[in-house]
């Protein structure tokens, strides 16, 4: 039996103290990554006022992170598999700490842009390494399902509770939005060095596929930048077309390189798995809907209703119910009904939540908004966990970093696409409530499409445990 569990074959299986410590550290890191993005969004108006940033530079503060994260995610996942999950995890966490602090010290726009880009790159290496450490440190079956439920619930909580934390910190000064993650990441780093260990499993053979790395990173950077440019549909459309075209050409070059490489960055055969493709497309659409909705609701509260950042954060606190439900309820539902059915229910609930918010007006009471916000929290609890659990389903253990990279690439591109889409629709439809209501259709459509994608897997046999099965004795101990 793995050192991560205690108990007999006939008795209950429980996590050991060390296993709990490892899970706590990894959950802390993914929570850090989630709140970092959410907190910054709330603080943007204060940053603009203090540093005198133009609208383009302010938008670039968000875009720089997206470019770093989306551009380097696949490389980060492969690096974790080749160099060791723990090594990449702690190194990238240290880089995250340093550049988050640099962002808090920024006095000019270019410093802030550099800090956010580097922070995004660090997150691109940290996130897949962290997911791989979860899957490799806990044996397949109910125990891993439980661990991934806590992990996914913490990640989802970072997205939702980050708005609240950002509102509180921004009210004391926007620089605390950067300094607070420095303190948290320092604590997580110290704990990671003490308790997290690599499992000792075999690493993939071969070295880095540099041609593949350069081509896919260039493709992801170009496509991410193209998505960001969609926020301004009437601004140099020819450049947007060129950027997308360059991204597609580099993507095609990447496929050619990978087919000929003896040590590919991405084994293309992994993309032949229908469940893997389905879960990544679903993740992209689900996060596109959530990111777009969160952005629009933040603008609605602050610009159309005149609420403060703190009031906005407290209003959205109810979405954080997923932090409680995801680790407690979701693993039980997955064990009983399987990943696909639970995920489908979560995505459908999200579409209903967004649809209920469509008639919003400037005279709406908070009680009128509450059903949408509560349903959204429940939907996140039901959907985000199964997405994370299914990310490595059917994937060999030595490619779990790659699988995590694919998932978080989908998540990041979905987030970027959702923000750009609602911004473009809002600008085209005009200012005020008219633009807001028109843009709110985007999350409804994205979530509905996500439900359709997930539904294609409902006829498949009920999912087995959501990760690759392995005999307990082959799973390396946590210690």
Residue pLDDT, tens place only, 239-266: 888 988 998 999 899 888 888 877 777 7
Q: 207-221, 229-243, 345-359 — which one is most confidently predicted on average?
A: 345-359
pLDDT at 355: 96
Average pLDDT, rounded, for the chain: 81
**pLDDT tens digits along 40-76:** 877 877 887 888 877 557 767 877 887 788 778 878 8
Average pLDDT on 402-421 reads 80
The pair phi, psi for residue 469, each rounded to 5°, is -70, 145
DSSP letter at 316 equals T
Whether the model pTM is above 0.85: no
pLDDT for the residue numbered 188: 94
CB of 204 closer than 8 Å to CB of 360: no
**Which pLDDT belongs to residue 231?**
67
Query: What is the model's pLDDT at position 9?
Result: 42
Place of tokens 């989802």: 156
pLDDT at 335: 82
Q: Can you give the pLDDT at residue 25?
A: 92
What confidence tier does 202 reach under pLDDT thresholds 50, 70, 90?
low
Query: What is each CA distance from 177 to 6, 162, 224, 328, in whole angstroms?
Result: 40, 10, 24, 30
* Exposure letters 201-240 (e unless 16+ CB within 10 A, then b): beebeeeebebbbbbbbbbbbbbbbbbbbbbbeeeeeeeb
| End-to-end CA, the chain | 13
Q: What is the mean pLDDT of residues 327-356?
A: 90
Which of 44-58, 124-138, 368-382 has the largest mean confidence?
368-382
CA distance linking residue 384 with residue 396, whole number of Å = 22
Helical packing angle, 85-105 and 17-51, nearest 10°: 30
The rounded percent of the chain whose pLDDT value lies above 90 is 25
297 vs 62, 300, 302, 305, 360, CA distance in Å? 17, 5, 9, 10, 10
What domains does the chain contain, in order, with CATH numbers?
15-197 (1.20.1250.20), 210-264 (no CATH), 270-456 (1.20.1250.20)
- Report, as an integer, the average pLDDT of 13-32: 82
Rounded Cα gap, residues 204 and 398, in angstroms = 6
Give residue 479's pLDDT band: very low, low, confident or very high (50, 70, 90). Answer: very low
Helix axes 339-356, 366-390, angle to 10 degrees: 160
In the chain, the largest separation of any two C-alpha atoms, in whole Å, equals 67
Q: What percent of the chain has pLDDT over 70?
A: 87
Q: What's the rounded mean pLDDT across residues 453-457?
A: 90
């Amino acid at each position: 039996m793995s050192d991560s569990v205690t108990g007999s074959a006939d008795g209950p299986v429980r996590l050991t103290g060390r296993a709990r410590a490892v899970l706590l550290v990894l959950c802390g890191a993914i929570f850090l990554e989630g709140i970092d993005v959410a907190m910054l969004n709330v603080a943007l108006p204060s940053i603009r006022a203090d540093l005198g940033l133009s609208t383009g530079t302010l938008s670039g503060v968000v875009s720089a992170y997206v470019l770093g994260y989306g551009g380097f995610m696949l490389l980060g996942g492969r690096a974790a598999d080749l160099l060791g999950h723990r090594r990449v995890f702690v190194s990238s966490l240290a880089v995250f700490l340093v550049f988050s602090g640099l962002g808090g010290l920024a006095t000019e726009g270019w410093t802030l842009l550099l800090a956010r880009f580097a922070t995004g790159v660090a997150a691109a290496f940290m996130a897949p390494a962290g997911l791989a450490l979860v899957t490799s440190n806990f044996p397949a079956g109910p125990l891993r399902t439980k661990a991934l439920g806590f992990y996914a619930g913490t990640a989802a909580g970072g997205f939702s509770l980050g708005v609240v934390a950002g509102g509180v910190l921004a009210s004391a000064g926007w620089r605390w939005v950067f300094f607070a993650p420095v303190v948290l990441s320092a604590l997580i780093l110290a704990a990671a060095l003490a308790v997290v260990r690599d499992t000792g499993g075999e690493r993939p053979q071969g070295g880095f596929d540099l041609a593949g790395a350069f081509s896919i990173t260039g493709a992801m950077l170009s496509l991410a930048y193209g998505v960001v440019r969609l926020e301004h549909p009437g601004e140099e459309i020819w450049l947007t077309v060129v950027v997308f075209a360059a991204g597609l050409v580099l993507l095609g070059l990447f496929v050619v390189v990978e087919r000929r490489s003896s040590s590919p960055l991405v084994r293309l055969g992994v993309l032949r798995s229908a469940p893997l493709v389905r879960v990544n497309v679903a993740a992209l659409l689900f996060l596109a809907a959530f990111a777009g909705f969160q952005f629009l609701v933040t603008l609605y509260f602050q610009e159309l209703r005149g609420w403060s950042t703190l009031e906005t954060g407290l209003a959205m606190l109810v979405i954080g119910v997923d932090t409680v439900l995801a680790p407690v309820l979701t693993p039980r539902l997955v064990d009983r009904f399987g990943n696909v059915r639970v995920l489908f229910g979560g995505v459908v609930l999200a579409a209903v939540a967004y649809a209920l918010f469509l008639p919003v007006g400037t005279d709406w009471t908070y009680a009128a908004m509450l059903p949408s916000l509560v349903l959204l929290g429940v939907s996140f609890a039901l959907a985000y966990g199964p997405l994370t659990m299914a990310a490595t389903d059917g994937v060999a253990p030595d490619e779990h970093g790659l699988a995590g990279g694919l998932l978080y690439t989908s998540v990041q591109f979905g987030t970027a696409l959702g923000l750009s889409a609602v911004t473009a629709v809002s600008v085209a439809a005009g200012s005020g409530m008219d633009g807001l209501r028109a843009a709110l259709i985007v999350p409804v459509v994205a979530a509905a499409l996500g439900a359709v994608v997930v539904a294609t897997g409902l006829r498949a046999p009920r999912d087995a445990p959501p990760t690759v099965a392995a005999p307990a004795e082959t799973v390396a101990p946590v210690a």
